Structure 1
Amino acid sequence: MNYIRKNAYAKINLGLDVIRKREDGYHDVCMIMQSIDLYDKITISRSSKPGIRLHNNLSYLPTGQGNLVYKAASLFLSENNITEGLSIELNKHIPVAAGLAGGSSDAAVTLLGLNELFETGLSKEALMKLGVKLGADIPYCIMLGTVLSEGIGEVLTPLSPLPDCHILLVKPDINVSTKYVYENLKLDGSVSHPDINAMIASLDRADLSSLTKRMDNILQTVTIKEYPIIAEIKHKMNETGALASLMSGSGPTVFGIYSDIKVAESAFRFFKKNRTYGKQVFLTKPYWP
């Protein structure tokens, strides 16, 4: 095998709670993650030239150590004593710095792809242990599906699947610093926490209505104060027929869950036309491996 092509899927957070700040500076979290059918495309080829050459379709993205794909490839080669060169083509479709784990998913797929390309036979669990060295979301991006994520994000438990639905994404034209969000998050009892256990029970019953009523993201308590556009998008999604809407991750992307495809398509057309909410708009569905 001389090359391999794979899709790197985005994720949303159906529920995101932060339990505590740890002594090492990280935070213990409790999240329900869901992969969606929006993806980047990655092609990895063996090369007779030494080193890693990374190319992508966005001129502003780094192509060296500043890119998680490059870091993942470098780590994999080093851990497996592989000296062969690589050429990697990254075609981005997932919005960058959007709370959708695009970079983490790209790195996860790079590890999966190299494992196949070089026939190293590593298990998913071994790849997840390797991936967490680069980012807390990477193990989930290797597993995919509907998953409970705990610890710093590396303790994963598969859940009952999200019932069939339509997912509208709108990324406003702002940049949100994850570091800023966590540094300004108050965990002193002044904010309510998502009921993750009740959400899991709703998933077990395949009750989409009950689930969406409980969707919550504690990080919104920081981001909405700084960026009111997030609340505006949520409000407009609800007006256009979403069962519920929520910010994903630390933002700024907002997603809405729709049960009816015609309603979802109408909302999609509204946001595509009204670019004041954001120029990156996608209508997608849940994805399971």
Structure 2
Amino acid sequence: MGESEMQGPGKGVFRLAAIGLFAGVLGGCASVAPPPEAEQEAPPGVVPAIETLWSEPERGWVRRVAAEAEGGDYRHPVQLDAQWLRQALYDIKLREQEREDRTVRLFDAADLDLLVPGLVRGLAEAGPEEAVAIAVAGRRGGFTFFDPVRLTTVRAFVDERGLNLLFGALDEPLPQGETAAYLERAPVGTREGVLIEGNRVWSRGWGSSTPREDWVVLPVETADGALPELPQARRGAEDSEAADTREPTSEGTQAGGSAVPVTIRERLERLEDLHDDGLITDEEYEAKRAEILEEL
């Protein structure tokens, strides 16, 4: 038998085997679905919103969220006194690790105009297995052209101890031009562990305690009556610029138009902050202080 005759059948068998193998591979691909992509777990503290009560892309948000696995069974719904809450948040400060003698107020009057109505309404509408998360971004105020936009975030809930505020970001500087992106995925505080590094939060409010460097607990004051109106999201370059500089609205009036009173104490403390930062002279401080005290 010639060489060509011996090779012919062998080649045919090889071709059939190759075709059969190829068909089997195709058949297997057609019958077996590819494995699903593994779900990516959200970073600690990043939680989806059940409801967004207020939001501005470059300024912040207030959201109702689910309680953590270790949390829940909260004393919700509860209606906090708006004026008490405003003062309680105003009393919270950041104590810097490198300079224990230096403290920075975390929320100014403009921040409180935006956050307090949503926080009051959120806790009043939340169930026992829900919490309220807030985020606010802005500059520290004063002559802050070169100061970066800073981010502060909080998870808030009420239990038998009082109002719990768990901080996820603590006056954290943001890269220029990326405020909206950071706000979109900003983490709030979590029981699982401390997210802030170095600095710690504290309150000089009566009866306050700090279970952890990122955790403040405040005794609760409740109220009855209508819930505060939510601020309307501001739009346009003028509004964005005003938000970035964190300038307060006139005498504590919200962007939505309803008034959240600014206390005499809050005005005096803000005046003292401006004086301590060297933004006003001794004469200006004394004159303005006397003017405020005349209103008592």
Q: TM-score range by the shorter chain?
A: under 0.3
Q: TM-score, normalised by structure 2?
A: 0.21
Q: TM-score, normalised by structure 1?
A: 0.21
Report the structure, 1 or 2, having the larger strand content: 1
